[in-house]
Structure formats: C-alpha cells, structure tokens
Amino acid sequence: MVGSSHEALHRIFQKDPTLLTKALQKVLHVPFPEPREIAALNVDLTEIEPVERRVDTLLRAETDEGTYLLVVESQGKADDRKRGSWPYYLSYLYEKYRCEPVLIVITQSSATAKWASRPIRLGFPGWDSLTVRPLVLGPDNVPVIADERQAERDVPLAVLSAMTHGRGPQAAAILESLASALRTIDPDSAAVFVQFVDSCLADPQAKQMWRELMTAIQYFWRHPLAEQVREEGREQGLEQGLEQGRAEAKAEMIVRILEWRGISVPEDVRQRVGACTDLGQLEVWAQRAVHAAEATELFAEE
C-alpha cells in the first residue's frame, strides 16, 4: 500500500491529474486555463552535485494559453528550509523545461497554510530579485463536504476535503459522506482514493474510523490496505468470517463515531448495535450516528 502522504499525492494526481486544476479554479478562484492534456514528469531535481532535491509531484499541463508545470508540495508543518528549496525548484524547472512553473502547497494545518502562503522575496528591501508566491490548499479554503450528494457530484474534491479537514470537528461526517460516494465510482479509482485518504489522515481516531468505514465496502477487501487491516486483526485474534467481520466492524464504527463526537453510549445501545448482523440496518444507524445528538436517536424511527 502507499507508505506516505507524499507518494499518495503523486499517485492520486497521476490517477486524476485534473484534480489540481479543478482545485485552482473552484477553491482558489485562480483563472488557470483548461488543460488539454496533463502528464506526470520525473520528480527528481538532483543536479550533478551530490545534493538530493525532490518535489512531491510534478505535472505538465498543456493548455491553449501555453504549457505549465504544476509543482505540488505536501507540507505538514512550517519549515524555513523551504524558503530556499521552493525558489530553487521553480528556477531549475523553468531552465530545464522552459515552461512556466506553478507552485501548489497542500496542508492539513491552518497555521502551516498561513506560513506557506507568505511570499518568498529574495533581494534587498524595495527591490526583489525573485518573488515566489505559492498557491495554498488547506482547511481554510478547501470546502467542507459532509453531504453524500455533494460528495457524489465531485468525488476528487471530497477527497481533498477529507484530507484537509480529517482532524476537525466535522471529520466523521466528511469521511462517512466520502465512503458513500466511493461506491458510485469505478473500483480501481476508488481504491486509489481509499489509500490516499488513509495515508493522509494524521489523527489516529480518524484513521481508525476510515478503515472501519472501508470494511463495509465490498471491493475494498481486494486491495492492499484491506490486507493490512486483516493482518492487524489476525495479530489481535479478531479475524472473523468476511460477512460477520463486516458486520462487527460496522457496529464498532457506529459506537466509535458517537464516542468520537463526545456522545455517551449506554450499555444497552452498545449491546443492541453489537448484536445486529444486518448490514443494511447498520448502515442506517451509521448515517444517524454522524448527526445524532444522543445515542438513543439511532433507533428513533424504529
């Protein structure tokens, strides 16, 4: 499976390279030209000198207005070394490809987004020899997509929402909506998104909830992330039959959603949810758990 958010970013943009230009147009409202073609390029920017320099993702976008290089960096925290690296990346790429480079930074942290959005000015006061202005996608400008219908209309944007808001107060609703939306697209694309989101979720509770949500999607069991979940289960002595395992995971997920949202779960509610083997009924309860004010509301209409 994908081992880091950097590799995951590269894979997701290779799978759906238009995600970047859509984000620029819809989220940042940057009038980036509609691309005719997008191709992935080598991310290694190392020169002859033994200094390794590597960007996370590098794409070439062909448009009617010219060719652009989309340089994507996934940034977890502020790092002042980037003040030297990013200008180097852009000038080196311009010299190598003779195309205009565009720097895009993606982060889950509002503080990091604020830091990354500051222009990098090289020169003396009043006369900049070089100015770098990153385009930043983060929790303050990527929309929260916590509605299933909205997630289904734009699954890649829902994935960005899960990535940037995956540890916020609406994380449970965001992940549940995305899980439902993944059922509406082809399994291969969904598998890439599943692994991408899993690698980007920094909050341990959010990551656990995501994996439990994914156990309810049947195709998920054919992919590497599922094998890891099953292996973890075997090590803990929890490996069950496929059907029973999905029901148990769904029941546990419902309780976790409530607890994650700070809602007390009485023992009788735990027992009723845990005893249910009907995946359809569990799915209904899971959707209610995202919005319920108290645990008993799971059974309000029954």
Chain segment 68-116, per-residue pLDDT in tens? 998 888 888 898 888 888 999 999 999 988 999 999 988 888 899 999 9
Chain segment 225-256, per-residue pLDDT in tens? 555 555 555 555 444 455 666 777 778 878 88
pLDDT of residue 183: 85
pTM, to two decimals: 0.62
Q: Cα separation of 72 and 58, whole Å?
A: 6
- Region 158-166 average pLDDT: 85
Chain segment 41-73, per-residue pLDDT in tens? 665 555 444 334 567 778 888 888 889 998 888
